[in-house]
Amino acid sequence: MNKKKQHAIDFGLLKDFFYFNHNRWIIVASTVLIISIYLYFLSIPKLNILPVVNNFKFAFYTDIANGGNSKIIKQIVSNSLIYFEFDLKEGFLSPFVGLSIAPKKDSIVNLSYYNRLCLDIEGNRINSIDVSLFNRNSFKKFATSTDELGFHSNFEISKERKRYYINLNQLKIPIWLRDINKISPNEELKPDLKHILNFNIATAYTPILGNNLSLKIYSISFERNNYELIIFLIIAELTVLLLLIVTHYIRGYLRKTSVSVIIAYKSLDLENETQQLNNFLTYINSNFQDNNLTLEHVSKNTGFNHRHIANSILQTFNCNFKTYVNQLRINEAKRLLLESELNVGEIAFKVGFINQSHFNRVFKNLVGMNPSEFRENKQ
């Protein structure tokens, strides 16, 4: 068996992939599961903190508790805006003011459905912002340990109003807080999003000290970004498909033998019409020259279910219905090329192809050369 025929058979194994019911069912089931997972996460509504909802309380704070001298001069909390004007004074190593947000009714808020915080803010003479989420502190081994453990993220802000997105999974415990709680730098910790006590928005590392600094917050919300989920689900579906194809290919390869399949069929009688026979294989072998020959046509004229016909051909000859018919047509075309004086186009129509170009492609794919080359070589 030459290499071209070998490649054609291998390609045929892959083409027959969807003829196996279990392959189709696994693909359908995995696709439905993946779509269901995506729709579930897509349906999760965002958690709005501002515009103000009644489930949260707001409290302003300064660095006074740390020995600082910063002051909040003016503060406004409305349904559409949180505004505070403040003075940053020397006294603490890094002067700051901030806003703390906590649930009213419950002691904790569950943020496990979300993976980012969205802030729409505008700062006056403010360079950067610190966002922090607080859990209960499970490292209270020493008297200096705090009751809460904060996970922080700093980011720069521009002078204009702008929307910022903070990935909750990237919040970390700062070095100074690790030192206080004796937490090893090698110990990777993530915030427990199911049990958040409160979260803060504060100024951070602002080099400008003085009066009339301000911060405006137009919206605060916790949202879910599903981009990474989409990538993961696509990779999962492609992995399932790839595993099925590899498994199908291996099974087909093991079923193959080095012995060529001999297909018995009735030679085309150019003068007389072929007769219908009871067996569907005999019917196909006798009517392959009909360019309208389809599974449904064979089923209707033989009484066999079209899926039974397709599966029987696949199991017996390791190819689908169309490939089986094309093999019959090409074998008969080879005989006519050698035993008749019909031209290539006439032979193509006689054996059941509707145009010569399609006949040439199928012939070369199965034989390894085009019809004219075959006739010349054999002569």
Residue 212 is predicted with a pLDDT of 84
What are the pLDDT digits (tens) for 203-236?
A: 987 767 777 899 999 999 999 999 999 999 999 9
Q: Do 300 and 177 sit in the same domain of this protein?
A: no
Cα(171)–Cα(150) distance, integer angstroms: 9
Q: Do 133 and 219 sit in the same domain of this protein?
A: yes
Angle made by CA atoms 121, 164, 44, in degrees to the nearest 5: 110
Q: Do 333 and 296 sit in the same domain of this protein?
A: yes
CB of 274 closer than 8 Å to CB of 293: no
From residue 22, alpha-carbon distances to 19, 29, 75, 252 in Å are: 9, 10, 65, 15
Residue 272 is predicted with a pLDDT of 45
Cα(333)–Cα(363) distance, integer angstroms: 9
| Count of helices and strands (H, E) across the chain | 11, 11
Helix, strand, coil % in the chain, rounded to nearest 5 = 40, 25, 35
Cα dihedral 297, 303, 306, 310 in deg (nearest 10):
-100
Residues of the chain predicted below pLDDT 50: 1-9, 142-144, 257-261, 271-278
Q: Which of 223, 254, 271 is the last residue of a domain?
A: 223
Buried b (16+ CB within 10 A) or exposed e, 69-83: ebeeeeeebeeeebe
Q: Do 59 and 195 sit in the same domain of this protein?
A: yes
**349: Cβ–Cβ under 8 A, 6 or more apart, which residues?**
291
Cα(311)–Cα(19) distance, integer angstroms: 7
If phi over 0 gives left and psi between -120 and 50 gives alpha, with beta otherwise, what is residue 67?
left
Range of the domain at 323: 3-34+232-378
If phi over 0 gives left and psi between -120 and 50 gives alpha, with beta otherwise, what is residue 166?
beta
- Report which of 126, 134, 152, 119 is spatially closest to residue 70, judged by C-alpha positions: 126
Cα(276)–Cα(289) distance, integer angstroms: 13
The CATH number covering residue 298 comes to: 1.10.10.60
| Assigned domain for 52 exists | yes
| Assigned domain for 41 exists | no
The CATH number covering residue 153 comes to: 2.60.120.430
Residue 256 is predicted with a pLDDT of 52
Residue 267 is predicted with a pLDDT of 62
For the record, the structure tokens of 29 come out as 């089931």
Cα(20)–Cα(18) distance, integer angstroms: 5
For the record, the structure tokens of 93 come out as 């190593």
Residue 12 is predicted with a pLDDT of 53
Q: Which of 223, 248, 281 is the last residue of a domain?
A: 223
Angle made by CA atoms 332, 333, 338, in degrees to the nearest 5: 100
Q: How many domains does the chain have?
A: 2
Instruction: For strands 47-50 and 56-62, give the pairing.
Output: unpaired
Q: Do 79 and 219 sit in the same domain of this protein?
A: yes
Q: Do 346 and 242 sit in the same domain of this protein?
A: yes
Residue 301 is predicted with a pLDDT of 85
